[in-house]
Amino acid sequence: MSEHTNTADHDPHATIALPPPDRDISSREDIAIFVTDFYRDVAMDDLLGPIFDAEHVHWAQHVDKLTDFWAWQLFGERGYEGNPLLAHVPIDAKHPFSDAHFARWLEMFTTTIDLHYVGPTAQTAKQRAAKMASAMQRLLHGRSASADHPITPYLTTR
Ligand code: HEM
């Protein structure tokens, strides 16, 4: 008979006693790790998952693109060719992003980074994500209120 009868061991949301992270994000491989983890959680999330489902997201391509995106944001690597803000306009038009969507997105992003990394680059990733999420919120839902919060160039130009 198997001794492994406790099905709670298989609960993907169960708390796992991982050691605290002891290193920072320092390579593209490090980025790929947190991007893969983050979107695995997003795909299963009851609030965010349905938006990605409805968009029929090709996950492997999305993870590659977001790895390029963060390599550009954190290391200045030129690989990502897109405009993150404009890309969300048609998606938001079909499935409006609420404050709750943004709050969940940011909470999950922060949790994922904190699970794996600690240090200045990890800190920058979290700050950059928060800044972009609020810029996106203003652009999508509050254009008239944006005058005193100029959108930073890295969001709108290459
Ligand atoms: C409510 C929050 C958000 C939702 C629901 C959301 C959802 C999505 C979806 C459905 C896509 C399209 C994926 C595909 O078709 O392959 C996408 C693309 C993308 N998202 Fe988000 N997103 C959110 C916030 C953010 C934030 C805050 C950032 C940046 C820090 C971000 C960065 C990106 C980038 C870089 C792309 C690729 C755009 C391109 O095609 O060039 N997203 N997002």
Every domain of the chain and the residues it spans: 27-81+89-143
> In whole angstroms, what is the distance from residue 11 CA to residue 158 CA?
43
The pLDDT value given to residue 21: 93
pTM: 0.84
Average model confidence (pLDDT) for the chain? 86
Q: Return the ligand 1 atom nearest residue 48 CA.
A: 5
**Token pair listed for 72:** 């550009």
Q: Which amino acid is it at 16?
A: I
Q: Return the ligand 1 atom nearest residue 69 CA.
A: 35
> In whole angstroms, what is the distance from residue 157 CA to residue 155 CA?
6
Determine which residue's CA is closest to atom 27 belonging to ligand 1.
Answer: 133
For ligand 1, whether the C-beta of 95 sits within 6 Å is: no
1 Cα to the center of ligand 1, angstroms: 47
pLDDT above 60 for 149: no
Task: List the CATH code of the domain at 27-81+89-143.
Answer: 1.10.490.10
89 Cα to the center of ligand 1, angstroms: 10
The pLDDT value given to residue 141: 86
Q: Mind giving me the DSSP string for 23-82?
A: ----SHHHHHHHHHHHHHHHHH-TTTHHHHHHTT--HHHHHHHHHHHHHHHHH--S---S
Q: Is the alpha carbon torsion for 101, 104, 109, 110 positive or negative?
A: positive
Which residues, including other chains, have CB under 8 Å from residue 85's CB and lie 6 or more apart? 135, 136, 139, 151, 155, 156
For ligand 1, whether the C-beta of 122 sits within 6 Å is: no
Determine which residue's CA is closest to atom 2 belonging to ligand 1.
Answer: 102
pLDDT above 80 for 2: no
pLDDT above 80 for 63: yes
Give residue-wise pLDDT tens across range 77-94.
999 999 999 999 999 999
Average confidence (pLDDT) over 8-15 = 60
Most confidently predicted of 119-123, 139-143, 145-149, 150-154: 119-123
Q: Which amino acid is it at 12?
A: P
For ligand 1, whether the C-beta of 25 sits within 6 Å is: no
Local confidence band at 154 (pLDDT 50, 70, 90 cut-offs): very low
pLDDT above 60 for 150: no
Local confidence band at 13 (pLDDT 50, 70, 90 cut-offs): low
7 Cα to the center of ligand 1, angstroms: 34
